[in-house]
Amino acid sequence: MVNPKPRSERQKVKKFLQYVSARILVGILSIFPYVLRGKILFSIIRFLAKTTGATKKRIERHIRTAFPKISESEIQEYIFHNLRNLSHMANEFCEEPRMNKKFIDKWVTFLPDKETHTRLFEKGGILVLGHLGNWETMGVSICYTAPKNDLYVFAKRQSNPWSNAWIEKNRASQRIKLVYTDESPRKALTLLKQGKLVAFISDQDAGKTGSFFPFLGNMASTFLGPATFSRMTDVPILFCSSWYDETGKLYFHVEEFERPDLDPRKDPELWEREFTYKWVKRLEEEVYKHPGDYFWLHRRWHTKPENKEELEKFWEGFKSSSERSKV
């Protein structure tokens, strides 16, 4: 009798086959022109959403969680727009190694204007953003609007090592480098002190070790990374967001983000709490403006707080330093 392969070996083979399948699919899709490929991908995603149901159900469940009072027609509209966004994201991943200035000028609109993007990004600093619009294309556009600077993205390694290497290579084709969460924090601090750009896409579920903040009416476990690095450095902080129009054009907004009006040396924990509260609220504002563009597939509220009522009571009475100064 032949001994079965150990579980770890079977998992390794499975991940490799998943990687190979994805490479073949992307290779075939990359043959088609950008606009046609987008239409093909949207048709595929809509078909899968109808036949499997899992993707659509998760999107719908999360939209209902965030917007419990909207009508059924609005929910279906958001779902439709969200599925189209997924096709845009897949299309742009296929296109990423070939993206150039001509592509960015055609498919990205810079807000408030391109000159502001160049001025802010050339200074370096911390970029704070969430899963709104398309963060990959935002990254590529930064490399073209501020070619004199380098962009690093704080990211978690993929569980599939082959896929991780592929994504890393794809991003590197546009001068986007990765700083992994399992690396020493000193690396990111050194980059910031050198005037580089370090981006944090920090609205993933942070698990049991995260801190809970109100987001779209629900308690969300949140990473404090952007707050910690902002407290430890004196570099500029930029808030970024993006959304699509009906033609697939991406609107990319950037603004300077104000630090809390507090001394971080006196109470570092309070400073980080205020900073995180402010950027989570700022992201929330953008999601309310562009609800169909948020990445509803990810499990933002997966981790449930054990003291939900206590947290809700605390945040109901919470006022940031800027809010207190207005009183």
Average pLDDT over residues 24-39: 97
Report the SS3 class of residue 177: strand
Q: What pLDDT digit, counting tens, does each position of 231-251 carry? A: 999 999 999 999 999 899 999
* Structure-block tokens of residue 137: 């294309």
How far apart are the C-alpha atoms of 126 and 297, rounded to whole Å?
A: 26
Q: How many CB atoms lie within 10 A of CB 264?
A: 18
Is the pLDDT assigned to residue 289 strictly greater than 50?
yes
DSSP state of 174: T
Q: Please state the domain extents for the chain.
A: 101-316
Q: What pLDDT digit, counting tens, does each position of 48-84 carry? A: 999 988 889 999 999 999 999 999 999 999 999 999 9
Residue with tokens 């579920």: 205
